[in-house]
Structures are given as structure tokens and as C-alpha cells.
Chain A
Amino acid sequence: MKIDSSIDYNETIKIIRKYPNEKKFTLAILQDIQKEYGFIPKEVMTKISDYLNIPLSDIYSMSTFYKALSLKEKGKYIIKVCNGTACHIRGSNSLIEELTDILNIAPEETTEDGLFSIEIVNCLGACALAPVMMVNGKYYGSMTKEKVKTVIDEYRGLEHEQ
């Protein structure tokens, strides 16, 4: 796991300064930070608070309210399993079971090697292809237990190549 000290704060400042220091940009800044680091580091939150002149407690409140933001560092590959109604009734639970089995972590956790995180999300808007999962933005439709393994192997393979 990366610790806060390894964060390049010049990058943070660059991201924050893209926006005028108005309250309405708080969420946008947080989302850009989330995208850059995969989570909202503690130190960065303080920097945003200083820049926008908004109490840290308010930024913390937002960061824990919106699901797009996370306080915990995520894995390199974020696997989002859709548990929207269409996916739910077409068996998304079995995908979740299979993933937790293969990766040996619970939903919302990250594997020890920092490669994979499992997230259960409410609807990815690809209901016609239910059940659906997504890895770093790429959709996988009409999933089955068997296909879960293939997809994970695919990403593990990518790691070996590098």
C-alpha cells in the first residue's frame, strides 16, 4: 500500500488549481483527486479545505457521502459488479460469490498484492446485458461464473506480461 508520503503534492496542487476557489467545485475537485490517486488521501483533503476555505469536516462529510469517492486506496483493477434489479434477478449474487472466492477478499476490499478491488454497485445502466460487471470502465455483459474466472485470468495475464 502506498502511504501518504509517497503522494506527489505538486500534482495535487495542479488538480486543485484547475478550478476557481468556489464551493460548487468541491465535488469536481474531489472526483479529479479520486481519479488521480484512486482515493482521497488525508493530506490532500486538508489541502482542498485550505484552498476552498471550507472546513475539513465538510469535505470529509462529502467524501463519505458520495459513493464515487473513497477514503481507502483501491486496487489497480477495480471490479464493479452490478447489483441493479435486472442483474440481481439474473444472478449477480453468484458472480459476487465467485469473485470473493477467486480473489479471497470480501466486497469493498482490495487484494493484498494491490491488484484487484471488488465493488458492488447499484446499476451500471447496461441492464439489457444483465448480469454485468465492469473492470476499470470496460463492460462485461451476460456474465456467468465461468466467465468471471476468464476475465480475472485475463488481467492476471496482463500483469505477468509487464
Chain B
Amino acid sequence: MKVKINGKLYNGNTGETLMELAKRNNIYIPNLCHKKGFEGQGRCRLCIVEINDGGKTKIVSSCVYPIKDGIEVSTNSDKIIKIRKNIILLLLLRTPNNDTIKSLAKEYNVDIHYKYLDNKKKENCILCGLCVEACDKLGTKAISLVNRGTTKKVSTPYDDASKDCIGCAACVEVCPTDAISIDDKNGKRTIWNRTFNLVSCSICGKYFTTYEALKYTDDKLNIEKENQICNSCKRKEISKKFKESFKNTY
């Protein structure tokens, strides 16, 4: 399958999305809700591009658009830049004090001295849904998207301390805007209104995760309790096992 992106031809695979093809060829299309393993949400809309399909042009979001033979894609046309600037403006109006969004706004020359901008707003979440996806993939499903329309948010049921949460902080890991509040202090972690006891590393002695998360991983991997070793001591190994656990479960 041949796809022309910004004037150059690329070979695409059947079933591949435009975003995947672009990533494979190191073409950058801005995005916030797209991450390896959590593709195809189409929430943030930043990845819109203009395509020409047999003479007809239309705007599509590249993270969910399955490529077609012969299409011509423009990732940076004037129209796309103009719309993308407005999308960033909309995100900025929602989260005026968020660093990620602020730097995006700067990069795209979005005017921040805008009359409808409320600088007192403390919101950081752009509702990209990645945290919910990550929690789902892990199989814990402690959080979900709640409400609808302009009142939509991410939360646990009834905003309570969730019995399903294991305090693993995978949600924090994937969040593009550092919106999830996590507090590790005095051997305790507070996240999603629940406080967990942290486990210290048997090698370096640092607190590194929660008992619940360790137990959950061990159960999933079906292994006997090993020495509790922290991320920095055994990061690579654990992350390898984590990935395997995804594969085995899903």
C-alpha cells in the first residue's frame, strides 16, 4: 500500500493506522492520547491531518484512521495548523496552568493572553483517557470516565477510596499532563483518595511500591514471593515481567 505523506511516498501495511505508519517512518504528528499499547482513542484530536482521497479532501484523526492505498496526507497544511492551534487553545482554556499544555501553546504560538482564560483554574486533566486505559489493561479497573458532556472527569466510583486500586501508579506513569495526584510520604502512598503502605527495597532500602501492587503482580505472574527489590535496583527486570504479564493476560 502506497501512502504519500507531506510529499513523500511510504509503504503502508494493511490495517495500519496513519499514526502507526507515520511513527514507523519518524514523521511526527502531535498527540496526547496516543501511546504504545493504548492506541486508537481519538480523544485529544491533536493528531488531525488533511488527506486527499481520490480528489476529495477531508480532515481525519490519524490515530484512528486506517490507511488506504493512494491517499495523500498533509500533516502540517495551513488549515491543519490553524485548527490545531485552536485545539490547543481549547486545552489551554481547560488547563491554563498545566506545563505540558503551556509549552504546546508556546510551540504553536497560541495567544495565552486571552480574555476567556481563567488563570486561577487548577485543572490539569485533559481527559485523554490514558490512565483509564492503563488501569484497564492491568486488570484492576479502579478508575473510569465518569459523567458526560462538559462535566466529564476521571474518578473512582463515588470518588471513594477504591477497593480495586492497588496503588501501582500506572495511571500516573501514562498521564501526559501530570494530572494525577500521588503523594509518597513517610512510607505511605496516597492516590485516588486511598492510602497504601509502601514497601522498601531489600537492597537499597528505599520505598518503591505498595504491597497490593506487588501482590497483584506476583499473583498475575503466578510466582512465589521473591525479595522485594526496588525499581532502580531491578527496574529492567520488573518491567520485563510486567510486560509479559500483559501479554499473558490479554
Contact = CB atoms under 8 A, between A and B. Distances in A.
Question: So, do A and B actually touch in the complex, CB under 8 Å?
Answer: yes
Interface of A: 42, 45, 55-61, 64-65, 71
B135 to A, nearest CB: 8
Contacts of A59: 157
Given A57-B142, A61-B144, A64-B148, A42 B158 contact: yes
A60 B147 contact: no
B146 interface: yes
B147 A57 contact: no
A61 B158 contact: no
A118 to B, nearest CB: 19
Nearest to B163: A56
Interface string B144-174: 1111100000001110001010000000000
Say whether chain A's binding surface is mostly helix, strand, loop, or mixed.
helix
A60 B148 contact: no
B141 A60 contact: no
Contacts of A60: 144, 146, 157-158
Interface in B5-27: none
A57 B153 CA distance: 13
Contacts of A55: 141, 144, 164
Given A42-B158, A45-B157, A57 B148 contact: no
A58 B144 contact: yes
B127 interface: no
Contacts of A64: 146-148
Contacts of A45: 157
Contacts of B145: 61
26 contacts: A42-B158, A45-B157, A55-B144, A55-B164, A56-B157, A56-B164, A57-B142, A57-B143, A57-B144, A57-B156, A57-B157, A57-B162, A58-B141, A59-B157, A60-B144, A60-B146, A60-B157, A60-B158, A61-B144, A61-B146, A64-B146, A64-B147, A64-B148, A65-B147, A65-B148, A71-B158
Q: Which of B141, B142, B157, B158 has the most CB of A within 10 A?
A: B157
Given A57-B142, A61-B145, 9 more contacts: A55-B144, A55-B164, A56-B157, A57-B156, A58-B141, A58-B144, A59-B157, A61-B144, A71-B158
Kindly list the 8 A-B residue pairs having the minimum CB-CB distance in the complex, ordered from nearest: A55-B141, A60-B157, A57-B144, A61-B144, A64-B147, A64-B146, A65-B148, A56-B157
A19 to B, nearest CB: 21
B170 to A, nearest CB: 15
A60 B147 CA distance: 9
A71 B146 CA distance: 12
A27 B226 CA distance: 44
Contacts of B146: 60-61, 64
A45 B158 CA distance: 11
Contacts of B164: 55-57
A57 B158 contact: no
B76 to A, nearest CB: 36
A4 to B, nearest CB: 12
Contacts of B148: 64-65
Contacts of B157: 45, 56-57, 59-60
Contacts of B162: 57
A61 B157 CA distance: 8
Contacts of B143: 57
A55 B132 CA distance: 12
A61 B162 CA distance: 14
A149 B231 CA distance: 68
A58 to B, nearest CB: 6
